[in-house]
Amino acid sequence: MKNNPNDLFGVYVHWPFCASKCPYCDFNSHVHRGPFDEDGYVAAYEREIATAAALVPGRVVQSIFFGGGTPSLMSPSATGRIIDAIAKHWTVEPGAEITLEANPTSVEVDRFRGFRTAGVNRVSLGVQSLREGPLAELGRRHTVDEAIAAVRIAQSVFERSSFDLIYARPRQTLEDWEDELKEALWMARGHISLYQLTIEQGTRYFDLHRAGKLIMPDEDLAADFYELTQELTAAAGLPAYEISNHARPGQESTHNMLYWRYGEYAGIGPGAHGRLMINNQRHATAAEKLPFEWQKQVLAKGHGMVVDDVLTWEEQGDEFLVMGLRLKEGISPARFSALSGRQISPRQIDALKGYGFVETLPNGNIRVTDRGWPVLDAVVADLAA
Ligand SMILES: C[S@@+](CC[C@H](N)C(=O)[O-])C[C@H]1O[C@@H](n2cnc3c(N)ncnc32)[C@H](O)[C@@H]1O
Ligand code: SF4
């Protein structure tokens, strides 16, 4: 991976369709019933890629990430067409990471070899739980056995793979999680993502929670879950490199690092966000979220962008802190100054050090300590002030 964050460029491709809507999920995902012209839909991606490349020409792509929704519902040939369009309009670096998020049902696993042939070299599987009861409660369409089989097949087909689990679930105890996580760490190779369940507005879980029907861990228990997760993953050789992402050193996801190091990325597809450097200004872009409205707009004007804001220096500094302080490598104060035109106040740093919330690394980076993680938002706000 290149170390100069200013050189990072990636493409995020959003596929918005899912077989069903999980009750906790607030991602831009839609269940589409009825006929679907995949070829025509993919043509809109090709068109939007051409438009984005005209805005930021000549880039070298280090990462392509198919996120969703459920991109593993695409046909391998559709995935291949999108990768080819990216390679036609930009240069894809040899060995670039090309990740596809996949759900672990047998339908999708049968397509893994096809995705590999199309150019995907990394899969991120949404396992979510290794227990049948919670899987059903989370509305998942796969069993534990199917998930385990999917992880094994992904590990044999792709050079790299990862899977996601959701923890701190309703009624889950620390003991339950310890057993489940240990099993997961036995299965994991280079990378695993572990997310604490969050209750998002607009989801079915939000309504259930408000009605008192989902008993979530309190703050102290949530902190214990987090601490246990850090201990077990570090002991298994997959320490956190970001709050929810764990990897063997060297196996970190390029896409994740590019994003949190505040690199440049094009967002393609409905609801996708991008950060593009145009005429030395950082643009924050976002596309129309509704899948077929997006397609209509792309056909009409070549892109589905509905937001294109030039970020002020101050906004760039704030975003850089919000993203970068999630990383174990921390942030470079010099890059903060270059982006924002201001300095982090030494008085603020000293005050936060006094609480044991941040530390300075030998390379000069500032990072949040284990003690500071639970109050990360407050730390970011103090440093940005
Ligand atoms: C876009 S989603 C997943 C892609 C794929 N459709 C799937 O379900 O496996 C990315 C990941 O976010 C996590 N996630 C989604 N909603 C969450 C929530 N409310 N709390 C915690 N994690 C969540 C899940 O682990 C999920 O695998
Ligand atoms: S968690 Fe994944 S499968 Fe479930 S609705 Fe969200 S994106 Fe779709």
| Domain annotation covers residue 276 | no
59 and 144 in a single domain? The answer is yes
Share of the chain above pLDDT 90, in %: 92
13 Cα–ligand 1 center, Å? 16
Ligand 1 and 108: CB distance under 6 A: no
- 136-140, 273-277, 324-328, 368-372: which has the minimum mean pLDDT? 368-372
Residues 67, 162: Cα–Cα separation, whole Å? 14
Residue nearest to atom 2 of ligand 2 (CA): 69
215 and 364 in a single domain? The answer is no
The reply to whether omega before 69 is within 30° of 0 (cis) is yes
275 Cα–ligand 1 center, Å? 22
Ligand 1 and 16: CB distance under 6 A: no
- Looking up residue 214, the CATH number of its domain turns out to be 3.20.20.70
Residue nearest to atom 4 of ligand 2 (CA): 22
Residues 154, 148: Cα–Cα separation, whole Å? 10
| Domain annotation covers residue 358 | yes
Share of the chain above pLDDT 70, in %: 98
84 and 228 in a single domain? The answer is yes
25 Cα–ligand 1 center, Å? 6
Q: CA–CA distance from 324 to each of 152, 258, 331 (Å)?
A: 33, 10, 5
46 and 185 in a single domain? The answer is yes
158 Cα–ligand 2 center, Å? 22
- The confidence band for 130, taking pLDDT boundaries of 50, 70 and 90, is very high
Q: What is the pLDDT of residue 310?
A: 98
Buried b (16+ CB within 10 A) or exposed e, 210-244: eeeebebbeeeebeebbebbbebbeebebebbbbb
Query: Where do we find the tokens 């101050």?
Result: 314
- Sequence-distant (≥ 6) Cβ neighbours of residue 56 within 8 angstroms: 9, 264, 266, 276, 277, 278
| Cα 276 to the center of its chain, rounded Å | 18
| Domain annotation covers residue 291 | no
231 and 107 in a single domain? The answer is yes
- pLDDT over 90 at 73, yes or no: yes
254 and 359 in a single domain? The answer is no
Ligand 1 and 198: CB distance under 6 A: yes
Range of 356's domain?
A: 326-385
The last residue of a domain, from among 243, 259, 275: 259
Q: Which ligand is nearest to the CA of 162?
A: 1
Query: Where do we find the tokens 């000549």?
Result: 58
Q: Which ligand is nearest to the CA of 20?
A: 2
Q: Which ligand is nearest to the CA of 203?
A: 1
The last residue of a domain, from among 224, 239, 259: 259
Ligand 1 and 128: CB distance under 6 A: yes
| Domain annotation covers residue 272 | no
255 and 332 in a single domain? The answer is no
Please answer whether residues 128 and 94 qualify as being in contact, where contact means their C-beta atoms are separated by less than 8 angstroms: no
Task: Give 35: exposed, middle or buried? Use CB within 10 Å, 0-12, 13-18, 19+.
Answer: exposed
Mean pLDDT of the chain: 95
Ligand 2 and 126: CB distance under 6 A: yes
212 and 84 in a single domain? The answer is yes
Q: Which ligand is nearest to the CA of 31?
A: 2
314-317 long-range CB contacts below 8 Å, 24 or more apart? 314/340, 314/342, 315/284, 316/262, 316/282, 316/340, 317/341, 317/342, 317/384
**pLDDT tens per residue, range 326-379:** 999 999 999 999 999 999 999 999 999 999 999 999 999 999 998 898 889 999
Q: What is the pTM of this model?
A: 0.96
Q: 71, 68, 72, 86: which is closest to 10 by C-alpha? A: 86
| Domain annotation covers residue 300 | no
Ligand 1 and 126: CB distance under 6 A: yes
Ligand 1 and 129: CB distance under 6 A: no
211 and 355 in a single domain? The answer is no
- pLDDT over 60 at 101, yes or no: yes
- Our mutation pick for probing the ligand 2 site, out of 15, 24, 25, 205, counting the most ligand atoms within 8 A of Cβ, is 25
Residues 301, 123: Cα–Cα separation, whole Å? 33
123 and 236 in a single domain? The answer is yes
Residue 1 or residue 197, greater confidence: 197
**pLDDT tens per residue, range 7-60:** 799 999 999 999 999 999 999 999 999 999 999 999 999 999 999 999 999 999
Q: 332, 287, 337, 283: which is closest to 312 by C-alpha? A: 283
Count the domains in the chain: 2
365 and 217 in a single domain? The answer is no
126 Cα–ligand 1 center, Å? 7
Ligand 1 and 101: CB distance under 6 A: yes
Query: Where do we find the tokens 């310890």?
Result: 178
End-to-end CA distance of the chain: give it in Å, rounded: 32
Q: What is the pLDDT of residue 2?
A: 39
The last residue of a domain, from among 236, 259, 282: 259
- pLDDT over 80 at 3, yes or no: no
192 and 55 in a single domain? The answer is yes
| Domain annotation covers residue 298 | no
Q: What is the pLDDT of residue 359?
A: 96
Q: What is the pLDDT of residue 6?
A: 57
| Domain annotation covers residue 271 | no
| Domain annotation covers residue 303 | no
Tokens read off for 160:
């790299």
Residues 163, 99: Cα–Cα separation, whole Å? 12
Ligand 1 and 24: CB distance under 6 A: yes
**pLDDT tens per residue, range 231-271:** 999 999 999 999 999 999 999 999 999 999 999 999 999 99
328 Cα–ligand 1 center, Å? 22
